[in-house]
Amino acid sequence: MTLPSWQVAQLAAAQEGINFLWIDGEHGMMTPEVVGAMINAGKCDATPLVRIPDSQTWMVKQALDLGARGLIVPMVETPEEAEKIADSMLYPPDGIRGYGPDYAARSWGLSCGEYSTVANEDVFFVAQIESKLGLENAEAIAAVPRVDLLFAGAYDLSIVRGRTGE
């Protein structure tokens, strides 16, 4: 969803057969407040996944602290980068995520202690492959523990191939 509207998120999540909401924080014009509202508005049976603009640790932490159940991270190019992202998604001792779970815990309907354990087990990581280097390393990226899914960024890959938009 690129439209920054919690109302639209709520309507979409309530539709039969919708399993997840892709909240686009990369190309959608969204503030953290809007992303948080969309995550919570769409909590029916749809899992809120947030595509963050970049793989910087603070962006990972912010989206998860808002209550995202998973992240879609663009332009993942190497297994080392995927490992760093995965580490930033998890609380110690499994990772390096800073501890500030109050909002996310409430969003998930858990206490802070419960959230810390459950989040380390359940947070979903989608590595988006959008470059030639990412394609070359796709198998190695997929082998990184905690990478749950690879997603091909079709338009960026079409540009890399010299076939914009195909």
Residue 93 domain-assigned (yes or no): yes
Which pLDDT score, from 0 to 100, does residue 37 have? 78
Residues that are catalytic: 27
User: Is 51 inside a domain boundary?
Assistant: yes
pLDDT tier at 50, thresholds 50, 70, 90: very high
Exposed, middle or buried by CB within 10 Å (0-12, 13-18, 19+), for 133?
middle
- Among 8-12, 84-88, 113-117, the range scoring the smallest mean pLDDT is 8-12
pLDDT of amino acid 7: 61
Is residue 1, in this structure, part of any structural domain at all? Answer: no
Q: For the chain, how many structural domains are there in total?
A: 1
- 73 lies in which domain range? 6-160
- Average pLDDT over every residue of 146-152: 95
Q: Is residue 132 one of the residues assigned to a domain?
A: yes
- The sign one gets for the Cα dihedral 136, 123, 55, 34 is positive
For residue 125, being part of any structural domain is answered with yes
Does 142 reside within a domain?
yes
Mean pLDDT of 140-158: 90
**Does some domain include residue 116?**
yes
Q: How far apart, in whole angstroms, are the C-alpha atoms of residue 143 and residue 163?
A: 29
Can you say whether residue 32 is alpha, beta or left, with left for phi > 0 and alpha for psi between -120 and 50 degrees? alpha
Residue 42 lies in a domain: yes
CATH number of the domain bearing residue 98: 3.20.20.60
Question: What is this structure's pTM?
Answer: 0.85
Which of the pair, 17 or 79, is modelled with greater confidence?
Answer: 79
155 — pLDDT class (breaks 50, 70, 90): confident
Asked whether 165 and 158 are in contact (CB, 8 A), the reply is: yes
